[in-house]
Structure 1
């Protein structure tokens, strides 16, 4: 039964991935074909509708954040329908993947009556798939994700709703609401933007930093797994566990190192290069999000005649040493699961 269940789960996951990416690509392609304004953006850039549709949906579902336009999704901030089509895939491929996968398995059990599906739900730990969570854990995860989104939405709208620099060009309340919802939803790992982050208030940027730092399956009321009866109450730590720092400690070290490598730019170009911008870039790399403050020639204190005001990621203006450190942060963020217990040896009492 266990082997049959694991094999069946593999087919379910494969079907889940293929079906959602195919459906999403088809919906986006149909929207762009039917809505002239969205199609005109791609024609002006010389991008195929099919290429854009498949690339964007796969990137969003995989929490990559790549969009085949120079300005990310800013070119489509008036196309609220397109943003709403892309928005569910931010959840389905990341923070809400376990609940929807469990929902699919529950539905297949009701339709097919196969015992393997029931076995997977009851013995989710034994199948060896980390994304299979208990039913209670899934409900808590859904509540946490929705709660964090509501909190961000209220704060974002209260701070930026009447901002002319942020909401420039958005004429109706509906467009503002959809664009704001799309922006705050992407802060949890997908990293697609409809606003220039450099124009947002510092309070919002700090909230985004916190959201990017949180792992995708963070729950407000975490389920504590019961310890094995044979496990002793006092855990013995190895020398390596005592030497490891916490995730936050490593991020602070990375930020300090990048501030050292970019110290010249921090002095000469403080409006573009500041600690908050560097922090957001580092946490974004750690969370594999892709948010960036960008770089603007207009914010230079000493005008550079060679500078072209194009949309570019902030790290694109860093030195090679700073970029190399950021690459290390990206790998560290992908592998953070193997060091989540770091820093346990510290006693701050």
Structure 2
């Protein structure tokens, strides 16, 4: 965890500053800028490593390498080059970047940061109380970085600690209990994290060893089975969508067993992460009988981990995810079952599994078993809607998502709304601006190559980048009106044929989508009468 080392160094440098001032400096840092710096830092680092390790034979351009690095860190899987140009070492680098950018990994880091801040508050309070015997309380409810607030609660104290300092006040004791619970929760999430990756990787390796024809595909492409297995497991869990092959998963669409292995991995790391985490904690509580797990389940909001939902909300989320998947499945089967371009050569069983895989990846992994350019526009519109929706979109009864004060229970930040925030645009407005900018930058291609460069294809590319999905229409030489010069069908993203300006705009869209949590609720001052 390079970022944790960086923050630790910064804290050491600030150790000479009075504790109260140091605490204020940390708490005053806007969460948005910390996240933005995080993604830009690792995107730049990934670009440098990819650039240095590139071979002189098939070396992508600098912008394409930076685009790929940003795409991996933002888990967008938008691509401008073919994946098979990357060496085995570069695939490992991309794997690390995807891990670093994954929501579960980032949430673990946030949880550790909140624990360190609680400990810091405990030390500050202890020193001030010993020096002045003051009863003033240090507010630990100002912790930001995308976490919900930590409220006072003193239940289950005796179960969570065996001894207390005679000088400890109730506030100091409470911070100890919360810190210990966060520590157990962190270990639980780390175990969940590694278990999911290890299990999926092992199953893929076992499948490849059991099915020689699937393994032969990798051997023909010069891809190691171990590299493919780990890379695919990480990409699916983080909901990135990169696959080491040029054709993504289209080359494996007949291997239903492999698709069935990957489908759960796409769900447990993103849309179904909260329900699965709850189940995992309940299992640990039942097996270990540890009171800490009971405290975690009884006081979820006090721990400041937004992914740890209440049972009812987790059930609503799971129901919504399954409902969206079922709706897409029915629409896709009814519209594309006899599509000779997409379903050619597949048996009925293979069609069902491939369809389930495809509609599952719409939210939000982005792995492809079908060429989207062969899919009907009606299905593409459904995909656009699903890509736009956030992972935790769920059906809630009126009032279920509101707290006692009428505000949302789970929010990204706890800052007060300012007049500047009221003047911000809504998300659809920003996306419209991005689409217009790309249409302007690609206006010559829109005129000369309208079948490839059309507004629908650009909208899919932009919404896919915003939703960090990775779906793309690709580029087909057969759709060109003017057959001038050499042309090669592109298995990589449609953006690979864009101008440099268009690529830079899409980079901004990917980061904008990754940080969408911080700009939701914009456009409040704009009323359509």
CA contact (8 A) 2:473 2:494 kept: yes
Equivalent residue for 1:140, pick from 310, 316, 339: 316
The aligned residue for residue 233 of structure 1 is none
The aligned residue for residue 54 of structure 1 is 230
1:261 equivalent in alignment to 2:479: no
CA contact (8 A) 1:241 1:345 kept: no
Equivalent residue for 2:491, pick from 311, 322, 345: 311
The aligned residue for residue 387 of structure 2 is 212
Aligned residue-pair number: 345
The aligned residue for residue 242 of structure 2 is 66
For residue 139 of structure 1, report the CA deviation from its aligned partner: 0.2
For residue 181 of structure 1, report the CA deviation from its aligned partner: 0.5
Alpha-carbon distance between aligned partners in 2 of 1:303 and 1:328, rounded to the nearest angstrom: 32
Equivalent residue for 2:330, pick from 154, 157, 181: 154
For residue 142 of structure 1, report the CA deviation from its aligned partner: 0.5
Alpha-carbon distance between aligned partners in 1 of 2:337 and 2:222, rounded to the nearest angstrom: 33
1:122 equivalent in alignment to 2:298: yes
The aligned residue for residue 193 of structure 1 is 368
Alpha-carbon distance between aligned partners in 2 of 1:125 and 1:336, rounded to the nearest angstrom: 22
The aligned residue for residue 270 of structure 2 is 94
CA contact (8 A) 1:191 1:290 kept: yes
Alpha-carbon distance between aligned partners in 2 of 1:126 and 1:344, rounded to the nearest angstrom: 30
Alpha-carbon distance between aligned partners in 2 of 1:2 and 1:242, rounded to the nearest angstrom: 35
For residue 173 of structure 1, report the CA deviation from its aligned partner: 0.4
Q: Deviations over 1:292-323 (max 9, x none)?
A: 00001010000133112242210000000000
Residue 280 of structure 2 aligns to a residue whose secondary structure is helix
Alpha-carbon distance between aligned partners in 2 of 1:100 and 1:66, rounded to the nearest angstrom: 23
Superposed structure 1 runs of 4+ greater than 3 Å apart = 227-230
The aligned residue for residue 165 of structure 1 is 341
Residue 188 of structure 1 aligns to a residue whose secondary structure is coil
Alpha-carbon distance between aligned partners in 2 of 1:251 and 1:58, rounded to the nearest angstrom: 29
Alpha-carbon distance between aligned partners in 2 of 1:238 and 1:315, rounded to the nearest angstrom: 37
The aligned residue for residue 4 of structure 1 is 180
TM-score, normalised by the number of residues in structure 1: 0.96
**Larger radius of gyration, structure 1 or 2?**
2
Alpha-carbon distance between aligned partners in 2 of 1:92 and 1:276, rounded to the nearest angstrom: 31
Residue 165 of structure 1 aligns to a residue whose secondary structure is helix
TM-score, normalised by the number of residues in structure 2: 0.64
1:321 equivalent in alignment to 2:321: no
CA contact (8 A) 2:435 2:459 kept: yes
Q: Deviations over 1:87-133 (max 9, x none)?
A: 10010000000000011111111122222112211221111112111
CA contact (8 A) 1:286 1:334 kept: yes
Q: Which has the higher contact order (CA 8 A, sep 6+)?
A: 2
Q: Deviations over 1:52-74 (max 9, x none)?
A: 00000101100111100000000
Alpha-carbon distance between aligned partners in 1 of 2:350 and 2:200, rounded to the nearest angstrom: 21
1:285 equivalent in alignment to 2:465: yes
The aligned residue for residue 172 of structure 2 is none
Q: Deviations over 1:248-282 (max 9, x none)?
A: 11111111111111111011101001111000000
Residue 218 of structure 1 aligns to a residue whose secondary structure is coil
Alpha-carbon distance between aligned partners in 1 of 2:205 and 2:294, rounded to the nearest angstrom: 37
For residue 229 of structure 1, report the CA deviation from its aligned partner: 8.7
For residue 243 of structure 1, report the CA deviation from its aligned partner: 1.0
1:225 equivalent in alignment to 2:405: no
Alpha-carbon distance between aligned partners in 1 of 2:501 and 2:388, rounded to the nearest angstrom: 23
Unaligned runs of 5+ in 1: 231-235
Alpha-carbon distance between aligned partners in 2 of 1:291 and 1:252, rounded to the nearest angstrom: 18
For residue 228 of structure 1, report the CA deviation from its aligned partner: 3.3
* Cα RMSD, aligned residues only: 1.6
CA contact (8 A) 2:423 2:524 kept: no
Alpha-carbon distance between aligned partners in 1 of 2:353 and 2:406, rounded to the nearest angstrom: 51
Residue 340 of structure 2 aligns to a residue whose secondary structure is coil
CA contact (8 A) 2:474 2:490 kept: no
The aligned residue for residue 175 of structure 1 is 350
CA contact (8 A) 1:242 1:345 kept: yes
Equivalent residue for 1:13, pick from 184, 189, 209: 189
Cα pair distance change 1:322/1:211, threshold 3 Å: same
Alpha-carbon distance between aligned partners in 2 of 1:26 and 1:142, rounded to the nearest angstrom: 26
